[in-house]
């Protein structure tokens, strides 16, 4: 085997795939670049870096692509790194997906990547620094409404890769996935456009709302993603395998950390939209659209135990009927002061036992919400 490093990059003509190919070239990797039209990207890389670049045009769903990639990599001396990337599937509600949608997306997002990996594993095993990395998505951890294909099939690929990490580990091949959050790419712009149309609003509103959910208050960049990807594909990564690492500015942590009661989500709770993907919106949806929010913000006394000591919680003062609570077949209104039901709420969210003084309020709270909190955490 040659001492030169060789990386095979699928989906390498745009976005994070192209950014990672460029970062690998900057680090001295020769490349096998694949996409439906890789020629322009290849010419750009050749002009900017002193590396060899071979192109293999085609879709990752094409059964013949894997062998063509293996042949091209072998001609350069054998693959040492493999980046699995592909275009995102259609943005559709899950009930709108047809059998053809599922079949086509499965070929692109699961069968194709695994076929390419199988074809290149012998070369990766022959090299002491064989590495595999797939571009996945943060929605594997926190599924969003409207992207059922991505939620389901990226999770399938990630778990297949974790299995491969177990099986290929004894041979020295490290296998991981790197999940972007909101990164400035055409895919995210397409996503924002789709949600803007669904909600009859503008893209700027969707973007502003999205930024409120990200602790760093900004999108990631393809170049930032590429630097982390290149590390995971290099010999510098000597022990990370079987992982899905998230590049998301803290988004997944925010989503899992009572984000529905942070100030950034007040507008989502007060003014729900058709996109019921975030927990506050789901809370509104499951309560029949009746959850009101109007109390002054209170510092959350239980926040430190939840790892979010700096977060301010925003609590509603009252809950009209919304979860099966009726009296004489008419809606029954239940009023709570914000301080009164702060602790019972948090106990419900953590599934811990409240103190005796809080138990009656917790029972009333659960009755009023009909276990909605349990269904959204």
Pick the CATH number of 6-252 from 3.30.565.10, 1.10.15.40, 3.30.43.10, 3.40.50.720: 3.40.50.720
316-329 pLDDT per residue, tens: 333 333 333 344 44
Of 266, 244, 257, 269, residue with least CA distance to 215? 257
Closest CA to 196 of 91, 325, 90: 91
31 in Cβ contact with 45 (< 8 Å): yes
Compute the mean pLDDT over every residue in the chain, rounded to the nearest whole number.
75
- Per residue in 127-181, pLDDT tens? 999 999 999 998 888 887 888 999 999 999 999 999 999 999 999 999 999 999 9
Report pLDDT for 46. 96
Q: In the predicted model, what is the mean pLDDT of residues 90-116?
A: 94
Q: Which tokens belong to 362? A: 């917790």
Q: How far is CA 49 from CA 23, 89, 315, in A?
A: 10, 32, 55
Please write the tens of the pLDDT for every residue from 2-54.
Answer: 478 999 999 999 999 999 999 999 999 999 999 988 999 999 999 999 999 99
State residue 99's pLDDT score.
96
Given this model, what pLDDT does residue 355 score?
53
Comparing C-alpha atoms, which of 170, 64, 166, 163 is closest to residue 119? 64
Any residues with CB less than 8 A from the CB of 303 and at least 6 apart, and which? 258, 309, 310, 311, 313
For the chain, the distance separating the N- and C-terminal CA atoms, rounded to the nearest angstrom, is 51
Q: Comparing 241 with 189, which gets the higher pLDDT?
A: 241
The rounded distance, in Å, linking the Cα atoms of 91 and 116 is 25
| Of the ranges 167-171, 275-279, 371-375, the best mean pLDDT one | 167-171
**What's the average model confidence in pLDDT over 254-263?**
50
What are the sequence ranges of the domains in the chain? 6-252, 257-376
């Amino acid at each position: 085997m040659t001492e030169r490093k060789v990386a095979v990059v699928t989906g390498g003509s745009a976005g994070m795939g192209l950014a990672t190919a460029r970062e690998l070239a900057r680090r001295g990797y020769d490349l096998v670049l694949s996409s439906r039209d890789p020629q322009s990207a290849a010419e750009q890389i050749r002009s900017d870096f002193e590396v060899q670049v071979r192109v293999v045009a085609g879709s990752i769903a094409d059964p013949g692509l894997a062998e063509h990639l293996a042949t091209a990599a072998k001609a350069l001396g054998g693959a040492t790194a493999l980046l699995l990337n592909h275009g995102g599937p259609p943005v559709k509600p899950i009930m709108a997906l047809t059998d053809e949608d599922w079949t086509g997306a499965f070929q692109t997002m699961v069968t194709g990547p695994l076929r390419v990996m199988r074809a290149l594993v012998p070369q990766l095993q022959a090299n002491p620094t064989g590495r595999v990395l797939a571009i996945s998505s943060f929605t594997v951890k926190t599924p969003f409404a409207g992207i059922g294909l991505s939620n389901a099939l990226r999770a399938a690929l990630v778990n297949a890769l974790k299995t491969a990490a177990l099986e290929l580990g004894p041979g020295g091949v490290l296998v991981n996935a790197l999940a972007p959050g909101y990164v400035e790419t055409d895919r995210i712009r397409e996503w924002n456009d789709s949600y803007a149309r669904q909600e009859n609003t503008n893209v700027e509103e969707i973007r502003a709302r999205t930024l409120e959910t990200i602790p760093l208050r900004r999108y990631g960049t393809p170049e930032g993603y590429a630097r982390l990807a290149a590390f995971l594909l290099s010999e510098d990564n000597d022990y990370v395998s079987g992982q899905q690492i998230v590049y998301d500015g803290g988004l997944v942590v925010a989503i899992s950390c009572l984000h529905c009661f942070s100030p950034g989500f007040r507008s989502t709770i007060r003014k729900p939209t058709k996109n019921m993907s975030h927990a506050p919106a789901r809370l509104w949806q499951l309560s029949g659209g009746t959850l009101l929010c109007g109390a002054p913000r209170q510092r959350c006394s239980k926040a430190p135990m939840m790892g979010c000591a700096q977060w301010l919680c925003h609590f509603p003062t009252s809950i009209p009927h919304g979860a099966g609570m009726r009296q004489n077949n008419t809606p029954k209104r239940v009023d709570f002061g914000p301080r009164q039901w702060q602790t019972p709420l948090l106990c419900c969210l953590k599934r811990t036992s409240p103190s005796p003084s809080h138990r009656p309020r917790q029972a009333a709270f659960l009755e009023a919400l009909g276990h909605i909190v349990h269904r959204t955490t």
